[in-house]
Structure 1
Amino acid sequence: MPLVKNAITVENGKNADTPDEVTEKKVAPPPMVTYIKSIVADRALLSSVEFSETGKETVLPLTKSRRKVRSSKRHRMQGKTLAEIDEEFVTPVNLHSGDFCNLPPEADTFRGTTSIKFTNSWLRPNSTDGMAHSNLVASMTRAYIDKGGAHYLGSRIVSGLATGSIFWRNRLGTDKIITLRVSDGIRGGKFGAPTVIECDRVRRDVIPTFAELEPHVIEGDIHAVADEIAGALSGDRGTLCLDVSFEGYVGRGQAIYPSEVLHNTEEKEKDKDKGREYQTARVRLGGDYVEQVIFTSDKIGNAIRRIDDITWHGNPAAGILPVEPYGVNLNEPEKSARLPKPGYASNFYALFDNIERVAALVDALPEKFTEDYVLCQDPSDNDVHFFFANLLFGGIFSTGKDKNKKSKAKAKK
């Protein structure tokens, strides 16, 4: 029976078999459902790399230093009198402290190393308030996988990383060769040699197809990587753990930008001089320990999720977005592409509530569809991939808290 027919039931809960029954009742979405994320990233340790004339590498952990910085005041002077402006600049020096991270003078390349684990947690929800709806989504997920969905999403993740998203701000300061190296983190893996991709000339405005990416592969086989990821996501093989390293030439002694510690307003008020603070991890170096700067697992995870591009959301101004229910770009909110407003692409909850449309899109997919098929479709037809990508990356999907209900309860008291 087609999935779109299973998405509609009659009042007694049985599957509808006639057109008259089809219109009676739809499967109601649950108020809350949770999915364990199927892709789990570790933090990335950042190191400096020095290459000798013979090609030998000297790799050392990157550390941070804290120092005072003297700068001018640059804030707006709106609404201030001439006397107030003069008083403001009697002491024009703006002293503040902050963390800095630079390559050593003899090193010109930085490297990040992390691991990414792939599981099949998205096949069923971890918890749900609506079993009928969740069972239907589970059957749709399996049908999507059988038609090639796991392989397609896996290849898209590999291509997304090849755009250099994993470098974050450091991507803008790199020059010459930028490489991404992927290898099987489990002994006895099937990859053999690691897969190495030169990312510096890979297009960054959209997720490249494997056909576009292959000229930049200098070692290994990206198709083998995608096959192994698909096997883990579909449950056909066990958990897959990939070792991923990325490196870029930035120049001797140049600045590197790790993850920063987020301070709330109260912390900033208590310590006006707190300034920028980089995240670190305590690692062993020889017989001692050092605080090595890192990219947090959240930052690596966000880079992995950046596969929602114009072929999915259809907005040329939005660029490549992380997979989020509303397509929100936290760094550039104006580039969000899936807000529940007229003119925006379908968001996850609109699809979740209209599950028969998702079922129809799964039914419409050809057997073992390819990237070429996806690229020739209207972006709204690719909502099916966006929907399952949200399940893949996991989360708590709920109706949220009713603030009006709380305020009414307080008023009664």
Structure 2
Amino acid sequence: MAKKDDALKTASVLAFERKLDPSDALLYAGQWSQRDALEDWQALTIREKSVRGTISNRLKDTSKEHKDPAKLDAAIEKPNLQTVDVATLPHNTDTLMARFTLRVLGGAGIPSACNNADYQAKLQQAVADYVKTHGFGELARRYAHNLANGRFLWRNRVGAEQVEVRIRRMEKGHVAKEWTFDALSLSLRGFDSDTQTSELAQDIADALAGERHLILEVIAFSHVGNGQEVFPSQELIVDQSQTRTVNGKAIKKSKTLYTVKVGEQDIAAIHTQKLGNAIRTIDTWYPAPADGSDLGPIAVEPYGSVTTQGTAYRQPKQKVDFYSLLDNWMLKDQVPNTEQQHFVMATLIRGGVFGEAG
């Protein structure tokens, strides 16, 4: 009989590298009719705009001055001066192009760092059993669908008249295979497959299994209209003290957009994190919300966190968060059901540091 001290414990150092590795998406402007002449497309740039807005935010009602009608009128009547970054298509172009590469790596479920050999052996056996039973077909099908439907365009997909996504399998710098999708015809809430998405999914599954090397080039066209505003990623400015001087007055920039320097040019872009979040928005296995609402898929996160809603849909008290499922699987031999196994594997593919808290 094994001693209690010999019981398997979670490794204090446990890390996984992400297996879906996108580049930043560079943004370009051009004409919808010129989608086959990519060399004619011009890089999208960012410019500053200073505006004289109005006070529209909800005011605090606890201060004495807001109990004085005269002071309240003065507070809401003063102008709201803002300096922001903005990105728009030139007025002689009607289409936004986003272009990035996605590298799919093998070794899913194999830790990049683990300081407990027994735990690593148990984990690798569980992953091997999962692959033998289910393979990566279900996860790959969902990843492929999110590439084909253009979810990674985020707000640039909303309201577009047409969206086309071209996905190229690159081999030694050349296009070995290309798929073209009408993105708006594909759902953002389901994962129905057709012949093209099935072919793409098979390549992704093979790469996750380590059976092939896979680099995909993704080119998306969003037909939004001449001169329309488009939406690169917005930077999170931690140091709010950053200011600029205009007419002798210090002004803080309210919004800073993301750019990537290519040569001597700064090109508007979408963050790798935002692309990755869209591609892994495949979790439909989380518990149904108490209000009965149907949210559709959410991004694979250990606690099912959706920051835009301020909610985590995989609460530890429900024992459906990643750590509860993994610990029960590894330490208690309680194998999750098929759907939760998919979730655990998708989280390992996402990557992260999952060791025991110190």
Q: Report the TM-score, using the length of structure 1 for normalisation.
A: 0.76
Paired letter, 1:328: S
1:188/1:45 Cα in 2 relative to 1: closer, same or farther (>3 Å)?
A: closer
- The reply on whether 1:133 has 2:110 as its aligned counterpart is no
For 1:333, the equivalent position in structure 2 comes to 310
1:157-208 C-alpha deviation (Å, 9 max, x unpaired) = 0112334320112121312x2122111122387x8441111111222223x1
For 1:351, the equivalent position in structure 2 comes to 325
Secondary structure of the residue that 1:122 maps to in structure 2?
Answer: coil
How far has the Cα of 1:326 moved from its partner?
Answer: 0.3
Paired letter, 2:31: E
For 2:247, the equivalent position in structure 1 comes to none
- The reply on whether 1:162 has 2:162 as its aligned counterpart is no
Q: Percent identity?
A: 24
Separation of aligned partners in 2, 1:341 and 1:391:
21
Separation of aligned partners in 2, 1:383 and 1:358:
16
User: 2:234 touches 2:255 (CA, 8 Å); kept in 1?
Assistant: yes
1:237-278 C-alpha deviation (Å, 9 max, x unpaired) = 2x3111111121111110001011111254368975221111
For 1:259, the equivalent position in structure 2 comes to 233
- The reply on whether 1:75 has 2:80 as its aligned counterpart is no
Separation of aligned partners in 2, 1:290 and 1:35:
35
1:291-316 C-alpha deviation (Å, 9 max, x unpaired) = 1100011111111121112x454445
Paired letter, 1:63: T
1:141/1:262 Cα in 2 relative to 1: closer, same or farther (>3 Å)?
A: same
Residue in structure 1 matching 2:2, options 7, 11, 21: 11
Separation of aligned partners in 1, 2:275 and 2:169:
18
Separation of aligned partners in 1, 2:75 and 2:34:
54
- The reply on whether 1:319 has 2:306 as its aligned counterpart is no
User: 1:358 touches 1:384 (CA, 8 Å); kept in 2?
Assistant: no
How far has the Cα of 1:148 moved from its partner?
Answer: 3.7
For 1:118, the equivalent position in structure 2 comes to 104
1:265/1:152 Cα in 2 relative to 1: closer, same or farther (>3 Å)?
A: same
Paired letter, 1:352: L
Residue in structure 2 matching 1:383, options 340, 349, 352: 340
- The reply on whether 1:276 has 2:255 as its aligned counterpart is yes
How far has the Cα of 1:55 moved from its partner?
Answer: 7.3
Paired letter, 2:189: D
- The reply on whether 1:300 has 2:275 as its aligned counterpart is yes
- The reply on whether 1:99 has 2:85 as its aligned counterpart is yes
How far has the Cα of 1:154 moved from its partner?
Answer: 1.3
User: 1:29 touches 1:352 (CA, 8 Å); kept in 2?
Assistant: no
How many residue pairs were aligned? 344
User: 2:54 touches 2:80 (CA, 8 Å); kept in 1?
Assistant: yes
Separation of aligned partners in 2, 1:100 and 1:257:
8
For 1:396, the equivalent position in structure 2 comes to 353
Map 1:33-52 → 2, pairs under 5 A:
33-52=14-33
For 2:221, the equivalent position in structure 1 comes to 247
How far has the Cα of 1:347 moved from its partner?
Answer: 0.7
Paired letter, 1:246: A
User: 2:84 touches 2:255 (CA, 8 Å); kept in 1?
Assistant: yes
User: 1:351 touches 1:357 (CA, 8 Å); kept in 2?
Assistant: no
1:224/1:319 Cα in 2 relative to 1: closer, same or farther (>3 Å)?
A: closer
Aligned-pair Cα RMSD in Å: 2.8
State the structure with bigger RCO (CA 8 A, min sep 6), 1 or 2: 2
In structure 1, runs of 5+ residues without a counterpart are: 1-9, 14-23, 363-379, 402-413
In structure 2, runs of 5+ residues without a counterpart are: 245-249
For 2:192, the equivalent position in structure 1 comes to 209
For 2:135, the equivalent position in structure 1 comes to 149
Higher strand share: 2
